[in-house]
Amino acid sequence: MHIRKIVVATIAVVLAVLTADAQKNHNPEYEALLRENPFRSGINTDGYEGGPYADTPAPKGYKPFYISHYGRHGSRSNWDEANYRALIISLERAKAAGILKEDGQTVLERARQCLAAHNGMDGRLTPPGAREHRGIAERMYKRFPDVFKKGSKNIRAISSTVPRVLISMTAFTDRLTELDPKFEISWDTGETYQKYIDPEVPSFSREMYAEIAKLDLDRTDSVAFLSRFFTDTKKASEIVGRFSRFESQVYAVARITASFELEDIFPLLPEESIYNNWARNNLSLYLGQANSKAFGHIRMLPALLTVKDIVDKADEVLADTSKDALCADLRFGHDYPFIAMCSAMGLEGIGQNLATEEVNLKWFGPWMTPFAANLQMIFYKNKKGGDVLVKFLVNERETALMGVEPVSGPYYRWSDVRKKFTTLRY
């Protein structure tokens, strides 16, 4: 009896240690955020969640006069037509075999709807994507009336050459001209602009996946997952083939339904699967595009082209003393250059320099690069001709700049920021 108690106690200790070891790689806050909105698990396919839209008062006498902006395109279709087709074939075979549950039938219907909505067009802006940009434009206009209502009416807008980005720019600037028909907006796109809107990224994918493999991320319980959709998991496994591929096919449908304005199927998926997909996507996105300890020195270099454009255009505006000086520079591009640009700048949160094992504990991708992710740099000056100040909004949230001392709150001297940006080295 005594030995039995010792064995039971030992097992309990071992289980506690194993549980603690498993939990130490999970951030409970992130798990709660994913339960609150499972679309966040898609990270860069999450619909735009900006704000809170609150402003710390600027130092006395300072008024905004110029905005430098970079915006990712809005919600779009994905690149998953082959996944939709393969999933439909598997589920139809299961249905013919008489093993498809009601939830499996729902997934089948949604996959068919996604395929129809996709309509053979990868990466196409969808109606929610246009609305996201219209909303951001309207809030910017109303939030900074000194820039748009009292200042110059001249705006420069430049876009990536990709159609979904061009349409995002159109939606954004259309809303501005609806709010004020007197705006004079120049639009442009082309390969020269592409060099800094969407710089070419060096390839280190093999090294990145080796880095990810070292963490041995959790895997979803295949039997529990399949049992949600099929009455016979053994037969279902024979039909769908490799489980990880089938799981990713179902997830490909779940993550994009909001873009197509279709009914959500995330309630049908186990929380374990939602978290595991987030963990893989989050880690991969950070290592590939942000300032990681492993690859940041490689990835940040192309981003300096975008940072340089921001500095050059700000210098141009500040040197222009005419009443027709630009009130805004609007750039429209993509998620990868957006993450890299903000990371290279050293913006708090998105720009953290993390080791691989820290990423899923300290970097929550959906806050950084949802559809329509944007950076707004708001420039301020006073009538006395004092220093120009600037503050940063990442997805319309006031954000600190690491490594530079603010004048107060989120406000920095442009001369200090400019010095940092022009001396960045990686």
Q: What is the per-residue pLDDT across 319-377, written as a single tens digit (0 to 9) for each?
A: 998 888 999 999 999 999 999 999 999 999 999 999 999 999 999 999 999 999 999 99
Within 8 A by CB and 6+ apart from 122, the residues are 77, 78, 79, 81
53 and 167 in a single domain? The answer is yes
What is the sign, positive or negative, of the torsion defined by CA atoms of 190, 193, 194, 200? positive
pLDDT tens, residue by residue, 93-116: 999 999 999 999 999 999 999 999
What's the mean pLDDT in 374-382?
Answer: 97
203 and 233 in a single domain? The answer is no
Confidence band for 8, pLDDT divided at 50, 70 and 90: very low
Number of folded domains in the chain? 2
Nearest CA among 297, 371, 367 for reference residue 334: 371
140 and 249 in a single domain? The answer is no
| Residue 202 confidence (pLDDT) | 86
Looking up residue 304, the CATH number of its domain turns out to be 3.40.50.1240
186 and 303 in a single domain? The answer is yes
Identify whether 283 is part of a domain.
no
Identify whether 285 is part of a domain.
no
Domain containing 104 equals 79-122+221-269
Confidence check: pLDDT of 273 > 60:
yes
Identify whether 263 is part of a domain.
yes
158 and 231 in a single domain? The answer is no
202 and 234 in a single domain? The answer is no
Identify whether 6 is part of a domain.
no
102 and 241 in a single domain? The answer is yes
Residue that finishes a domain, picked among 238, 269, 300:
269
CA distance 218 to 221: 9
Identify whether 262 is part of a domain.
yes
Other C-beta atoms lying within 10 Å of the C-beta of residue 278: 23
pLDDT tens, residue by residue, 194-244: 999 999 998 898 999 999 999 999 999 999 999 999 999 999 999 999 999
Within 8 A by CB and 6+ apart from 44, the residues are 281, 285, 335, 365, 369, 370, 371
Other C-beta atoms lying within 10 Å of the C-beta of residue 115: 18
| Residue 13 confidence (pLDDT) | 39
Identify whether 344 is part of a domain.
yes
- Quick one: tokens of 168? 């995002």
| Residue 199 confidence (pLDDT) | 96
Confidence check: pLDDT of 3 > 60:
no
145 and 46 in a single domain? The answer is yes
Identify whether 336 is part of a domain.
yes
Distances (CA, A) of 175 to 73, 121, 141, 180, 347: 15, 26, 9, 9, 28
CA distance 379 to 392: 9
Q: Backbone phi, then psi, for 332, in 5-degree steps?
A: -130, 125
305 and 375 in a single domain? The answer is yes
Tokens 């699967």 found at: 273
> What value does the mean pLDDT of the chain take?
93
What's the mean pLDDT in 264-278?
Answer: 97
How are beta strands 374-381 and 397-399 bridged, if at all? unpaired
248 and 396 in a single domain? The answer is no
301 and 156 in a single domain? The answer is yes
Helix (H) or strand (E) holding 389: strand 389-394
Identify whether 203 is part of a domain.
yes
**Single-letter residue type at 160:** S
Confidence check: pLDDT of 42 > 60:
yes
Within 8 A by CB and 6+ apart from 84, the residues are 111, 112, 114, 115, 118, 249, 252, 253
Nearest CA among 293, 377, 282 for reference residue 329: 377
Measure CA of the first residue to CA of the last residue in the chain; give whole Å.
Answer: 64
212 and 252 in a single domain? The answer is no
What is the sign, positive or negative, of the torsion defined by CA atoms of 412, 414, 417, 420? negative
